[in-house]
Amino acid sequence: DAMVIQNPRYQVTQFGKPVTLSCSQTLNHNVMYWYQQKSSQAPKLLFHYYDKDFNNEADTPDNFQSRRPNTSFCFLDIRSPGLGDAAMYLCATSIRDWNYNEQFFGPGTRLTVL
Amino acid sequence: AQKVTQAQTEISVVEKEDVTLDCVYETRDTTYYLFWYKQPPSGELVFLIRRNSFDEQNEISGRYSWNFQKSTSSFNFTITASQVVDSAVYFCALSEGYNTDKLIFGTGTRLQVFP
C-alpha cells in the first residue's frame, strides 16, 4: 500500500546532540511537510518542500533544518535539541495541482530530549 | 487572519450516543478548503473529509456526517451511534485559496466513547 513512513517511531537524544528524523513516501507526491506537535496541541507547520523548493515558516527556529534529496525522502535535522523541542514530529505529503488536496500523514516520530 | 476554533476541548459519551463536534472558522478569502482529521492514540493523523467553499452540500459517510454552513462559518462533524473505536482527538483545519500549502488547525476536540 502507498504510504508515508517515518523512522524511527521513537527517538531519544541528549540536550544539544544533533538528531535526524526520516520520512519516506511511496505516494509520489510533490509536496512534503514537517509538523511539530506538542502535547495536547495542534500540529504546527515547520516547513515544506514543493518538489525541491524549500518553504520555511517565519517562526520556525534556525535550529530546525530540512533536506529533500529526492521525491521519496525528506529529513528533519535538529542541530542542537533543547528540552522544549521534545514533541511528536509528523511528516505529511500532498499533491499540488489545480486543486487543493488533502495531506496524508505518517505515524510520527516522538522525540524525547534528556 | 485565518483561524479555526474548536470550542469543545473534550467530550465524553457512552457508546451508541450521537455526538457533534463543532468547528468555526475565520477567513477573508472566498475560496478556501475545510478538513477534518482524526488522531487516534497511535498518533497518526487520518484524513476524514475535504470540503471546498463553493460546495455547501452536507455529506454523509456511514456513521459520519458533516454540516457546512457558510452563513455561520461553521463546519460541524456528527458521529451517529458512536463506538469505542471513535475515541480520538479530532482536528478541524482550514486552507485558503489555490496552491497554498498551509493548513491552519484548530486546537482539537478529544472524544472519549465509553462502553
Say how far apart CA A111 and CA A100 lie, in whole Å: 30
A88–B98 CB contact, under 8 Å: no
Residues on chain B touching A50 (C-beta within 8 angstroms): 101
- When CB atoms are compared, the residue of B33, B44, B107 closest to A105 is B44
Task: Name the grid cell of B29.
Answer: 478569502
Chain B interface with A: residues with Cβ < 8 Å: 33, 35, 37, 42-47, 50, 52, 91, 95, 97-103, 105-108
CB atoms within 10 A of CB B46: 14
Task: Name the grid cell of A61.
Answer: 527556529
Taking CA atoms, A3 is separated from A53, B20, B52, B67, in Å, by 22, 30, 25, 29
Residue A80 backbone dihedrals phi, psi, to 5 degrees: -145, 85
Predicted confidence (pLDDT) per residue in B21-71, tens digit: 999 999 988 888 999 999 998 888 999 998 988 888 888 889 999 999 999
In the predicted model, is pLDDT for residue B99 greater than 60?
A: no
Inter-residue contact B71 to B10 (CB < 8 Å): no
Inter-residue contact B33 to A99 (CB < 8 Å): no
- When CB atoms are compared, the residue of B44, B95, B101 closest to A106 is B44
Sign of the CA dihedral A60, B107, B77, B90? positive
Predicted confidence (pLDDT) per residue in A30-80, tens digit: 999 999 999 989 999 999 999 999 999 999 999 999 999 999 999 999 999
CB proximity A86 to B under 8 Å? no
pLDDT at B67: 95
